[in-house]
Amino acid sequence: MMIDIGLFSLEVLAVEDLRICPVDEGNWRQLIALEPAERQKRFIESNHVSLLESVFDKENSWTCYGLFRGETAVGFMMIGAENSEEGYIWLDRFMIDKNHQAQGLGSAFVQKAIDYITAHFDVSEIVLSVTKENEKAKQFYEKQGFINSGLIDPEYDEEIFTYRM
């Protein structure tokens, strides 16, 4: 939504236009076309790989989701590897397309992801991991309320962050 305030206009992020949708036959092509900024590519797997992992990694029961602003795909994430005994679930591969960054969408969608997980899963904690060298992502998640647990994911040698609900 654009707001005209005289000398210039401001684009206001309308949260009601933001949707989280499971990947399906109607949107998967839009979602695999999304890419992080060039400087971010070394920190995250492609959406192609994530979709394949959701199909073939039966142990962790990953589900992939598209992040939409109106009808436009702007991001991607995976949710899975739920541990019902310990009450946590992983938020993984969260990304906003390079053409839609620096608009507040990342923060808005992290909150929507937290709300989605709260509504659909019986867990008290969300877990994610960040590459040790990715200082911007660590700062971003801390700003969203995630805490660096001090633990390292042994499979990928990444720092583990948690969000208590």
| Per-residue pLDDT tens over the stretch 4-58 | 455 544 445 555 689 999 999 999 999 999 999 999 999 999 999 999 999 999 8
pLDDT for res 8: 46
The residue written with tokens 């400087």 in the block is: 39
**Does residue 65 register a pLDDT over 50?**
yes
Cβ count near 27 (within 10 Å): 16
Q: Tell me the C-alpha distance between 94 and 21, whole Å.
A: 14
Half-sphere exposure for 108 (CA within 13 Å, toward CB): 21
Q: What is the pLDDT of residues 133-142, one digit of tens each?
A: 999 999 999 9
Q: What CATH number does the domain containing 110 carry? A: 3.40.630.30
Residue at 59 is within a domain: yes
Total-model pTM: 0.88
pLDDT for res 6: 52
Residue at 153 is within a domain: yes
Residue at 8 is within a domain: no
pLDDT for res 10: 44
Q: Tell me the C-alpha distance between 98 and 75, whole Å.
A: 9
DSSP structure class, residue 38: G
Residue at 10 is within a domain: no
Residue at 114 is within a domain: yes
pLDDT for res 103: 94
Q: Tell me the C-alpha distance between 109 and 38, whole Å.
A: 21
The residue written with tokens 């236009």 in the block is: 17
Q: Tell me the C-alpha distance between 48 and 43, whole Å.
A: 15
Residue at 129 is within a domain: yes
pLDDT for res 15: 58
Domain that holds residue 59: 19-164
pLDDT for res 137: 96
1 pLDDT band (50/70/90 cuts)? Answer: very low
Residue at 7 is within a domain: no
Q: How much is the average pLDDT of 52-77? A: 95
User: How many separate domains does the chain show?
Assistant: 1
pLDDT for res 155: 86
pLDDT for res 9: 42
Residue in 133, 126, 116, 131 with CA at minimum distance from that of residue 147: 126
Residue at 13 is within a domain: no
DSSP structure class, residue 6: S
Residue in 90, 107, 61 with CA at minimum distance from that of residue 160: 90
